[in-house]
Structure 1
């Protein structure tokens, strides 16, 4: 219970932002993911608050909150944006050595397709 008292600062005196413990933020605030689930985006508004909690590693974690009332609708995907996404995904499938498009994404660690790569990524037992 001490963690709840430590992270409860709705006026923002201690942390500079209104702060609540995990799962205790008011209903008018939402994280980016929660806004996205509602079909909204922050829309350039400043961070309105935060949720703080202790992770299992004893590290303080934060999730920033935005006001739902000030959020804007998500921009729709236009044909040009879809083409851009498909082009970026296609570029991940083209080998840098043989310039062949593969049916899988090329490993960034190997830098080449499975055929061109001298290292298959697995250590062999001697």
Structure 2
């Protein structure tokens, strides 16, 4: 199956393509770049990884083809440092996710979107008048 996605010249897929875990050295995904303190820096994807995945497969349907784009390490740039303004905006956004809309208190954790309120308010039975 892995040979199906082997296209280092890009003749079949239009961009050099490799099977999962078979990328050549000098290429990395966005996540791998970030782990090294780098970012793509405006460069286009130099290659891609393709693999079959059953994670989102519906019963009776074929496996999904997943893709991860690869970027050249020699063209990657350092991650921009966090500025005080960005830090303040991020702190404000995260604080808003901790405020319960029912009791208006800081829950100390991000409110689950499935509940829409803090766990204490969700567990308290509603009072009927």
Q: Please classify the TM superposition score into its range, dividing by the shorter chain length.
A: 0.7 to 0.9
Q: Does residue 1:31 correspond to 2:29, yes or no?
A: yes
> 1:98 and 1:82 mapped to 2: Cα distance?
27
> 2:28 and 2:113 mapped to 1: Cα distance?
35
Displacement of 1:90 in angstroms is: 0.6
Which of 30, 39, 42 is the equivalent residue of 1:41?
39
**How has the CA–CA distance of structure 1 residues 101 and 14 changed in structure 2, closer, same or farther, with 3 Å as cutoff?**
same
Q: Does residue 1:12 correspond to 2:17, yes or no?
A: no
TM-score (norm 1): 0.81
Structure 1 unaligned spans of 5+: 121-126
Structure 2 unaligned spans of 5+: 58-62, 124-129
SS of the residue 1:91 aligns to: helix
Which of 96, 101, 113 is the equivalent residue of 1:91?
96
> 2:119 and 2:32 mapped to 1: Cα distance?
39
RMSD over aligned CA atoms reads 1.7
TM-score (norm 2): 0.79
Q: Does residue 1:70 correspond to 2:75, yes or no?
A: yes
Cross-structure match for 1:80:
85
SS of the residue 2:106 aligns to: coil
Cross-structure match for 1:109:
114
SS of the residue 1:20 aligns to: strand
